[in-house]
Amino acid sequence: MTASADPTIVAARSDRNLLALGHVASFVASLFELVVPLVIAFSVNTLALHGTGTPLTWLPVAIAVIGTGATAGWRAVVLARIGAEEMRRLRLGVARRLLVMTPRAVEQFGVGEAVSIFSRTVNELEPLLSAARIRRRTAVVVVVGCLVLLFWFDWRLATALFGALTVGAGCIVLVLLPVKARAGQALVALGRTAADVNEHLASIRSATVWGLVTPHLRRLEDDLCGVEGAERQIGRAQAVVDLVVKTTSITLLIGLGAFGVFLVSDGALSAARLSGFVGTLAVLLGPAASYAQAAQQVQTAKAAIEHLRGVPQATERTSFAHATAELSARLVVRAVHAECSPAVAVVSGPVSFSATPGEMVCLVGPSGSGKTTVLSAVAALVPVCAGSLTVGGIDVGRHDPSRLWRQIAYVEQTTPTLGASIRDFLTPDPANPPHIDVVMRLLDDFGLTERLGSAGLDTPLERSGTSLSGGERQRLAIVRALASDRPLLLLDEPTAHLDSAAEQRVLEAIDRLRTGRIVIVASHATEFARRADRVVRL
């Protein structure tokens, strides 16, 4: 699959009408650029024939110059619109690709690496989008058109020019060949640095207390040295390209100008044709230089698209017709010697238990015994490698996961409070909002009412919930789970950050609202084990 045919790139393309407008604008602008040297030659020829010039002599030149500027501006506006639209679609497509990764894939790939791909790698892909492709095609059209005009004005000068351009283009191609690999190295190193900075900031308190700033900076410096090395190689390639382009341009202008003057003085070439040739050469050099630069950007973009292809793909799961019935009517969770595999060569279990609506199962055991893994397996987020684990009488691996997840209220140990407001956070499914009276009572029970302020549920949430303490974020996540109508509650250490009074309020709320629901909780708290209908030790 070529870089430009990558599904993420293809999905970002603008609609055909807008792309057609971009091609038309670029083609018209190119025609006006090619007309300028012809008009100059015509005006010079008129001066040579009549000896004097009139306003009408220079009128075509003025029209051509104004038209060139106007059409170039039109092209810039249209291509800017195409570029902005496609970058929006591209960023959305990459974000969608990142957000649908499974939890295990995110853990293996790295949050920092994913953030780096979204914040940096996407920007490197712009040369593969339509606006950049149209610019490159326009440059090719102008260059080809200029070469035709040059041969028409004088074949001897054009032959010399064509030979020089061929040699220069060959040098540029040789320089650009390794750029893709170097750019890929830089992106990998930058991904590591972004991941390290992300991890440091996520644990800034412990990093400060343990004095980890210095070793983390040392590791960051080592990675950035690798980035520097790759970028210096890319810079040297760019320097060689610039050297070839600038040297070739200046040499051509001087050499061809001198050769043209000789031909004019010898009577072998008219001044009008020489002026047209020089005008065409001036038009040619700009697109030729921009195409050389664009070729290097394309190589960098190809490295970026290879980096993007390293993102784990969302696994497609088969939907079964008999698994589409609502679970709430016949919800039973049963594990029989189930063993779960959260990673390669890692197995948790075996574990056996059953639960029916209204019951609470408490998973207990030392840290690392697999409590979170069992919860993830019930939610079909971790595969069951031995035994059986069924939800509603159907093996979790045979469920349509999207339907299964709509029946589950999951509370993680560190739930991110993502949302513009508290109401947004508590309403993950706008089509099925929780009952407001249930929400308000839970907020009051959990001591969160005073955090609402004058805006009530529309109180804004700071990014990552930094305005809330760890216990308040956890209580807010529990409110979201209990206020929903989802029949299967999976709670992972729900009271880990709470004091005894807050823990008691949470326990009472769970007891009050678990009627008709199954609650499976992983906890070290003895009070959960005391209230549970059955305790499963891992």
DSSP per-residue codes, 361-376? EEEE-STTSSHHHHHH
Tokens 């549920």 -> residue: 457
What single-letter DSSP state applies at residue 68? H
Per-residue pLDDT at 205 exceeds 70: no
Per-residue pLDDT at 30 exceeds 70: yes
In the sheet where 384-391 sits, what is the strand order? 346-355, 333-343, 384-391, 394-395
Per-residue pLDDT at 286 exceeds 90: no
**285 in Cβ contact with 249 (< 8 Å):** yes
Q: What is the pLDDT of residue 22?
A: 92
Question: Is 492 or 228 the better-scoring residue by pLDDT?
Answer: 492
Phi, psi for 512 (deg, rounded to 5): -70, -35
Structure tokens at 311: 């993102």
**132 in Cβ contact with 297 (< 8 Å):** yes
Question: Which range, 175-184, 235-244, 321-330, 354-363, is most confident?
Answer: 354-363
- Please calculate the CA angle 361-364-365 and round it to the nearest 5 degrees: 160
Phi, psi for 373 (deg, rounded to 5): -65, -40
- What is the mean predicted confidence (pLDDT) over 216-225? 79
Question: Is 345 or 425 the better-scoring residue by pLDDT?
Answer: 425
pLDDT band at 196 (very low <50, low <70, confident <90, very high): confident
**140 in Cβ contact with 291 (< 8 Å):** yes
pLDDT band at 21 (very low <50, low <70, confident <90, very high): very high
Computed over every residue of the chain, the mean pLDDT equals 80
Per-residue pLDDT at 389 exceeds 80: yes
pLDDT band at 12 (very low <50, low <70, confident <90, very high): confident
N-to-C CA span, the chain: 47
Residue 55: what residue type?
P
Residues 385, 355: Cα–Cα separation, whole Å: 21
Classify residue 484 as left (phi > 0), alpha (psi -120 to 50) or beta.
Answer: beta
Per-residue pLDDT at 192 exceeds 70: yes
What is the pairing mode between strands 346-355 and 333-343? antiparallel
Classify residue 14 as left (phi > 0), alpha (psi -120 to 50) or beta.
Answer: beta
Residues 22, 5: Cα–Cα separation, whole Å: 20
pLDDT band at 316 (very low <50, low <70, confident <90, very high): very low
Q: Which residues contact 63 (CB under 8 A, 6 or more apart)?
A: 39
Per-residue pLDDT at 191 exceeds 90: no
Q: How many residues does the chain have?
A: 538
Per-residue pLDDT at 321 exceeds 80: no
Q: What is the pLDDT of residue 344?
A: 67
